[in-house]
Amino acid sequence: MQVMDCVANRVKPLARLHIRAALLSSTRRSSDDASLRRRRRLLYDRILRVDLAGELGADRIYAGQMCVLGRDPVVQHMWEQEKEHLRAFERLLTQHRARPSALRPLWGSAGFALGFATALLGQRGAMACTVAVESVIAEHYDNQIRELLANAGEDHAELLDLLRRCRDDEQGHHDAGLEHGAEEAPLYGLLTATIKAGCRGAIWVAERI
């Protein structure tokens, strides 16, 4: 009987240690899971916010160009694709409860003004705008794709698919702009450099506000 009591007294502390270790392990896992979810939320919040702002700006650029150029078939085709991008990002923003840019009205107004102003230079001016904007945006999407792939890419299949599709469309717009005389626009070098700088600045702001 004394032997049994001795064994029992030794087993009890060991059992308590095992229970304590299991609880600590479970707590760590819960903490790690919460941290992972928080990082993912912040990542999606930033990506969806800036991309929705960018697609809104692109939609308004083409709207401004169409006001000047009329029903230009090249611009119309690009505009239809931008509308699809905008709807897709709006859906994902809602799905992931991400926060849109607080400067959304500014991006819409600035986009329309840019499209309208460059179209006043004719179709080549509009195409120069497209080349400048889409070169920056295609690069931007490439950067986001690399970032997602480096952060458990298999967990981001839906967003990666959308980013790749948008990047390919934007690259297509860029190439179409060159094919339709963008480089023959007045002050092409200065115009595109200015637009690119503006786009990069807008991306930086929209990621944060």
Residue 148 makes CB contacts below 8 A (sequence gap 6+) with 43, 47, 156, 159, 160, 163
Q: How far apart are CA 83 and CA 104, in angstroms?
A: 16
Q: Is domain 38-208 annotated with CATH 1.20.120?
A: no
**Structure token pair of residue 50:** 């800036």
pLDDT the model gives residue 154: 74
Q: Is 134 annotated as a binding residue?
A: yes
Q: 14 burial class (0-12, 13-18, 19+ CB within 10 angstroms)? A: exposed
Residue matched to tokens 């967990």: 155
List Cα–Cα distances, 87 to 82, 114, 133, in angstroms. 9, 22, 20
Domain ranges of the chain: 38-208
pLDDT the model gives residue 7: 47
Q: Is 85 annotated as a binding residue?
A: yes
Q: Is 180 annotated as a binding residue?
A: no
Instruction: Name the DSSP letter for residue 121.
Output: T
| C-alpha neighbours within 13 Å on the C-beta side of residue 95 | 10
| pTM for this model (two decimals) | 0.83
Q: Is 170 annotated as a binding residue?
A: yes
Residue matched to tokens 């690119």: 196
Q: Is 184 annotated as a binding residue?
A: no
Q: Are the CB atoms for 154 and 117 separated by under 8 Å?
A: no
pLDDT the model gives residue 37: 79
Q: Would you give per-residue pLDDT tens digits along the chain (209 residues)?
A: 555 555 456 656 666 666 665 555 555 556 666 777 788 889 999 999 999 999 999 999 999 999 999 989 999 999 999 999 999 999 999 999 999 999 999 999 999 999 999 999 999 999 999 999 999 999 999 999 999 999 876 788 999 999 999 999 999 999 999 999 999 999 999 999 999 999 999 999 999 99
Q: Is 84 annotated as a binding residue?
A: no
